[in-house]
Amino acid sequence: MNADMDIDRAWDLHPQVSVRPEPFGALLYHFGTRRLSFVKDLRLLAVLRALPHVPTARAACAQAGVGAAELPRFTAALTALARSSMVIERAAP
């Protein structure tokens, strides 16, 4: 994925990703790739937790209280997580 992820699509944590909450945010561990990612923003953690329950990543951001001015920063963070396979596009039902 070269461009930013499409936040108007449905995304989810990869099924092989474990989330361990920490005081600073969370650790994400991908059991398939053995990659570790640090989430240092509690609202990004809230976005990740909301992903399976909302129709789009944009809706997850809104639910977590991410305003329009902050959306590019959160899109960049989600794009980085997508590039490392921590989040994947959800298949249509």
Question: How many whole angstroms separate alpha carbon 53 and alpha carbon 24?
Answer: 24
Separation in Å, CA 90 to CA 41, 70, 87: 23, 24, 9
Look at residue 2 and tell me whether its pLDDT is greater than 80.
no
What pTM was estimated for this model as a whole?
0.91
Whether the pLDDT of residue 1 is over 60: the answer is no
Q: Read off the pLDDT of residues 16-44 as tens digits, 9 standing for 90 and up.
A: 999 999 998 999 999 999 999 999 999 99
Q: What is the phi/psi pair of residue 2, to 5°? A: -95, -35
pLDDT for 81 equals 96
In SS3 terms, 18-66 reads as: EEEEECCEEEEEECCCCEEEEECCHHHHHHHHHHHHCCCHHHHHHHCCC
